[in-house]
Every structure is written in C-alpha cells, then in structure tokens.
Structure 1
Amino acid sequence: MSEPPPLIIAVPKGRILAEALPLLARAGIVPEAAFSDEDSRLLRFETDDPGISLIRVRAFDVATFVAHGAAQLGIVGSDVIAEFGYSELYAPVDLGIGHCRLSVAEPVAMAAHDDPRGWSHVRVATKYPHVTAAHFAARGVQAECVKLNGAMELAPTLGLAPRIVDLVSSGRTLKENGLVEVEEIMQVTSRLIVNRAAMKTRPQVVPLVEAFRRAVEAGA
C-alpha cells in the first residue's frame, strides 16, 4: 500500500512567521534549514517529519490555498479568515500569536474635530473591503471602499481616500505618516485553519490539530 502524500501546512511570510516557528517546534514540526534562509527562493520545504511539508506564501493566500485543498492546514490571522469567509475553512485553534487590531485611521488634523459616531458615509482605503463594509453597515454607515494591497498610509496624503482601515500593532507606522486610530473594528490573533474535507479524509489531520492545541497550552 502506497504512502499517502504529505500533509501541507501553509504559513505566512513576514512577522507572523517568526512567532509561529517556536509553536511549530512545540508541535513537533522542524523545517529544513533552507526555511530560515531569507535569501532562499524556495516556496515549499520539507520538515523532519516526512509526512509534513510547509509552503510559505502571502498571508492572504494562506486562506485560499487551504480553502481549495491545495494545503490541508494553515496559519493565518483572524482578519484574513473574516475577510474571505470561506465555508471550507475550520479554525479550531487560536494560536495566541500575531496580536494586533484592525482599525480605522485618519489624519491627525481631521481627527481633532471628527466624531465617528456622527458618520453617515465614509470613503476608506483598505485591503479588507468585506470586513470594512460589514462593520459600517452594522452601524448604519455607508462605506465606499477603495481596495489597496499595501501602502495604505499614503491614501489620505495623496487624496485617494480620507481614511484607511488597516492592521495596527504598535501604531508607529500610523504616527510616522501623520495618522491616528479613531475606531477599532476587531482584535486579531493568528489561528490554525483546516480544510474541512481534509479533516474527514486525512486521518493525520486531527492528531496534528491536537498537537498544535497542546503546543499553545505549553507556551501559555
């Protein structure tokens, strides 16, 4: 009987990856050396478990790879899960890493005389149009969302949109670009996501989910 193909775990590039590595290790997953090589152009990596491979992709793409079954598990922020709303995804474990918040921000001068409670229509630049529109709709505010994939802080300065909705951690990037938070939309942490079909058809998935759950508890 042939061995099943390796399980593939999609992990995000950037800040979350550094926080995820100790968690992966506690779950018994140690990537090959090239995974930590910033100059490596590889996107798929082996681990010390021949039944598990890792792929390193953009955070927004993690959800897509897992939802469509190209990867069976992934690590991604709750902001991305909320934005896509894929029914094929199950998020069984809050990993307790990647703490930040999704917030509305605007120029300091505007905020000095602005009251979010009085908004009836807003124009915002964001890479979270669905979460943003839903948030404002629940408040009875009409939101016009300009979709951007990065450099959000430029939008108010260059007249693209007076406000932005983006992830905020320390707030330093906002401050250096003359912006200030005026409303929080949601708190964000990274979650372990699983493809629902894989959970039923790949027997290795459930033990791996439990290994991540124990890893979180061990690091608490």
Structure 2
Amino acid sequence: MNELLTVAMPKGRIFEEAAELLRKAGYGLPQEFDDSRKLIVDAPEAGMRFILAKPMDVPTYVEHGVADVGVAGKDTMIEEERDVYEVLDLKISECYLAVAGLPGYVEKGIAPKVASKYPNLATQYFKEQGEQVEVIKLNGSIELAPLVGLADRIVDIVSTGRTLKENGLVELETIVPITSRLIVNPVSYRVKDKLIDELVERLAKVIEEDEQ
C-alpha cells in the first residue's frame, strides 16, 4: 500500500487556488473535490488525503500531526505561532494586514480600543509602534466595530479594500503583506521526507513558472 500524505487545507479562496497549484504540479485531484461538502476527502491518485478545516485551525492540525502538511495564510502563522515548519511561499491568496478606521480618526484617551480577529498580532504591532491599546477579539464582521463604537480602529485583512470602502472606513496603516504558505509537521518531515520533498519541489517549480 502506497504511503499517503495528509494535507490540511482551508475552504474558500485559498482552497481553490491551492487545488489549482496541485493540479498544475501533476497531482490528480478528483473532480468532485472542488464541490465536496465532506470534511475529509481522499485523493488516491494524488497519494493524498485532505482535511478541510477553518483557516485558523489548519496550523493546529499540522502541529499535532493529524495532518502531515497544510496550507495556511501568513496571517494565521503569525497569530497562532504553532510548532510547524514553514517550507514554501505558495504566492497565492495575496492580500495584506492593515489598520483601518473612520475617516478623520483622532486618537482618544489612554489605550484606545482596536478590534481584530488577530489579537496577538495586533497587540505586537502596536507595541512595536510604542502605542498602548486595548485589543478586542472579534471573529467576523470586524468593520462593524468602529461603526457601532465598540472600537476606534480595526486590524484586518485587506485584499481589494472594497469592504472597507462600502462600510465607510479608510486604511490608516499597512502592517504586513500576506500570502499562503506550505507548512509541515516536524515529525512527518522526518518520517515522510521523500514525499514531502517531492511535493515542495513540484510546487516550487510551478510557482517559478507562473512568475515568469
């Protein structure tokens, strides 16, 4: 029986772009793969099994060895600080983290409030700026926070800026560019080194060709 690689991937845009990369790299993924509502999908032709998880949970599955490798955004990697190897920048799902707020934002009082789904990242960023803030963790619709007075500013992912604009917010500062990365469980890297090295080499070649 051939050895399988277990891959943790998030659903949505990252999933679609990562699946396309794998196909370009010569991995045969089943057609129903893209439309599947299953949480575990086998792709025997590719020698892979996929675990479909929430983006923030992918590094957790990889760290604990439930998945050998995973695809995770750099934002999640910074926020989660998991014990995994980051082996390849896949150059997909490009966006960036930014600070945003209402137009004409003026800092008010001591420790202004910042809402984000990335509390660790936001805290670290403002600490580096020498600014003391109170970070409020939200899980979704971060743009709502300044509109209802919950927070003065937000830290969130920006891809086109359309969501900010539609909610009357403006970008105040850019924090860091974000792309999706291939991450590996340290034990899997020792046990399945040949399979993982081949995956990295094939994907790296496709990324290089796409950039030319």
* 1:44 and 2:40 matched: yes
- Structure 2 residue runs of 5 or longer lacking an equivalent are none
For 1:56 and 1:84, the matched residues in 2 are separated by 18
| CA-based RMSD | 1.9
2-structure distance, mates of 1:21, 1:3: 21
Structure-2 separation of matches of 1:119 and 1:44: 49
Distance 1:178 1:205 in 2: 45
* Native 8 Å contact 1:29 1:48 kept in 2: no
1:210 aligns with 2:201: yes
Deviations 1:118-138 (A, max 9, x none): 997331110101111111111
Alignment of 1:91 onto 2:86: yes
User: What whole-Å deviation, never above 9, does each CA across 1:50-80 have from its counterpart, x for those lacking one?
Assistant: 6311122111111111111111111111111
Residue of 135, 148, 157 corresponding to 1:158: 148
Change in 2 beyond 3 A, CA 1:119/1:105: farther
Specify the alignment match of 1:67 in structure 2. 63
1:16 and 1:167 mapped to 2: Cα distance?
14
Query: What CA distance in whole angstroms lies between the structure 2 residues aligned with 1:31 and 1:219?
Result: 20
Match of 2:187 among 180, 191, 197: 197
Question: Gaps spanning 5+ residues in structure 1: where?
Answer: none
TM-score by length of 1: 0.88
Is the contact made by 1:124 and 1:145 (CA closer than 8 Å) also made in structure 2? yes
- The answer on whether the counterparts of 1:126 and 1:148 sit within 8 Å (CA) in structure 2 is yes
**Distance in 2, Cα, partners of 1:132 & 1:90:** 23
Cα displacement (A) at 1:208:
1.6
2:29 to 20, 28, 31: 31
Q: Deviations over 1:186-205 (max 9, x none)?
A: 11011111111110112322
Change (3 A) 1:32 1:158: same
> For 1:209, what is the secondary structure of its paired residue?
helix
| Contact 1:31–1:54 (8 Å) recurs in 2 | no
Which amino acid counterpart does residue 78 of structure 1 have in structure 2? Answer: K
Q: Which runs of 4+ in 1 moved over 4 A?
A: none
